[in-house]
Structure 1
């Protein structure tokens, strides 16, 4: 009797899990369809290539001009620069946690890393304004510290917990496989890390990179507070504007069903498309090049 009840509960649990998974997929599909539906009205008036590959965002002027190339480049530029800053630090921190510190300190650092992931974006934005922006203005005598570099540094701090968590978990598993054999053969710890652990953790590094890059491309509030919000081509020490910042700044003032309103949805669709393309490229690299070796 109890065995039948157990089997029944297992079946119910399986149905619930499948239903929830299906619901999540349907919800994602509805979001994509809704955004594409609102964006399609813009592409009727402005050709897709012109919207994506030209500059000039003047949605309320006559004639209307809608081009978001500078915002696309700024979003990618800031995100890739943040990855360049945070990936070595995150990977080094993961190795430090797995091989250097004792269990007590490791637990404390993990708590701090988890807390960093939970801090609201606006708090990071205040930190960026008060510390990073002011640092460039005071120490380097910049007219304005609101630059692409400031945004990249702040964003690298924000995505660091995602890199550390993903890499550290994988390195722990690989270490458990190799540590006893390395000790038996007399292999040093640092030789093991360099020649065994890091090559075996390549998939985790790519996964961490994908997760962090997706998080970086979608960041809004913190970047909006430190990047200057100028719809011009991005320069390292100049102002710029990302697509999420553009949408957040202008959606509240856009008239419903206007070209401005639908143009912001089109910008959101381009951001989703950019994320899809970048993630597809990295998954292809991981599948065809990383998994082979």
Structure 2
């Protein structure tokens, strides 16, 4: 009976795995098919390197370079803000002796990861944007910096959870030896635990960066959504925000429609590359 159930479980797992892989392959094929049609009318380099997005003009222009740069810019800002905080939190969690407090902090991180992105967007719009308007005397606080701050909070749980597990294992490994040698906890964390967790830190950074690049709603609410070259205190528009804002008004089969699919395909290629990098670092 047990052997039958085990074989049935293996069979079902195999079937569901194959179905998932086939569905993913079909999605990629569909997006690629809808994307490639645009290059019958627009040069590839004009699309990737073009600075103007105006698909509804008499002479349509569909350059997505500002959106590509804004997507990377806001994600880099988010990582620069969240990575030091996340590493510090992971170190503190790894060295925390109070199990109840550690469990409570882990639960808080889980709650942060589960909050809908639209809630982060609302908080960013009412707090971060207003703060930047007052402190920097800006006409509008919607900016790359606003999006980066909101994203930093959103990706923080991913950084902490990815790095903390490795750091905790290292802490358990070196704790007794360090105590026997009279080494302080701060020195042990700085000289032993942190260098030993370089791989985990890199992995968490790649995961967080990938998550930040794909975020739509929260960024769309605080970044200003202007298809121009991005500046830190200026407006910008990411590829996910561009697609979310315009796909509903794009005529089926139009140049606008295919341009949005191609922008999504470009984003998907970037994300696939980042995920491949993530799995490579895991094996190393």
| TM-score normalised by L of structure 1 | 0.92
Tell me, what secondary structure is at the counterpart of 2:53? strand
Q: What residue in structure 2 maps to residue 143 of structure 1?
A: 139
* In 1: Cα distance, 2:202 partner to 2:8 partner: 36
Are 2:123 and 1:120 aligned? no
* In 2: Cα distance, 1:20 partner to 1:166 partner: 27
Are 2:80 and 1:84 aligned? yes
Q: For each residue in 1:39-59, what CA deviation from the matched residue of structure 2 results, as whole angstroms up to 9, or x when unmatched?
A: 111122112221111111111
Tell me, what secondary structure is at the counterpart of 1:253? coil
Structure 1 residues 98, 282: closer, same or farther in 2, change over 3 A?
closer
Structure 1 runs (4+) deviating above 3 angstroms are 277-284
Give how far 1:189 is off. 1.6
Q: What residue in structure 1 maps to residue 259 of structure 2?
A: 263
Which of residues 183, 189, 197 in structure 2 aligns to 1:193? 189
Count of matched residue pairs? 284
Q: What residue in structure 1 maps to residue 163 of structure 2?
A: 167
* In 1: Cα distance, 2:110 partner to 2:103 partner: 11
* In 1: Cα distance, 2:55 partner to 2:94 partner: 52
Q: 5+ residue gaps in structure 1?
A: none
Q: For each residue in 1:88-138, what CA deviation from the matched residue of structure 2 results, as whole angstroms up to 9, or x when unmatched?
A: 101100111121462222222111111111111111010001000000112
Tell me, what secondary structure is at the counterpart of 1:274? helix
Give how far 1:287 is off. 7.2
Q: What residue in structure 2 maps to residue 225 of structure 1?
A: 221
* In 1: Cα distance, 2:163 partner to 2:39 partner: 41
Give how far 1:67 is off. 0.5
Two-structure CA RMSD over aligned residues (Å)? 1.7
* In 2: Cα distance, 1:283 partner to 1:17 partner: 22
Contact 2:207 2:278 in 1 (8 A): no
Q: What residue in structure 1 maps to residue 245 of structure 2?
A: 249
